[in-house]
Amino acid sequence: MHRPFESVFPEELDEHEILVLPVSPVHLHMTISLPFHHRNPFDRLLIAQALVEGAALVSRDQALDAYGVPRLR
């Protein structure tokens, strides 16, 4: 990168209207209550956030479909 990450990252978020979603206690609670269709802890957290927030995930991973979360390919 020709510019520091600290300046590029916030600009890209603003330009593309991307919201950074913090991890909240309700997300953690949902994560630990999910069945183990998927073993990757980071993916499980993303699944929990999507379920709590009513959001879709962008992924090619078909294993996420077992959770009923909308998935964009």
- The tokens describing 70, both together, are 């909308």
In terms of residue numbers, what domain contains 64? Answer: 18-72
The total domain count for the chain is: 1
Structural domain contains residue 8:
no
| pLDDT surpassing 80 at residue 1 | no
d(CA 62, CA 27): 21
- Write the pLDDT tens digit of every residue in 15-61: 998 888 999 999 999 999 999 998 899 999 999 999 999 999 999 99
CB 66 within 8 A of CB 38: yes
Structural domain contains residue 5:
no
Structural domain contains residue 24:
yes
* Mean pLDDT in residue range 2-21: 88
| pLDDT surpassing 80 at residue 68 | yes
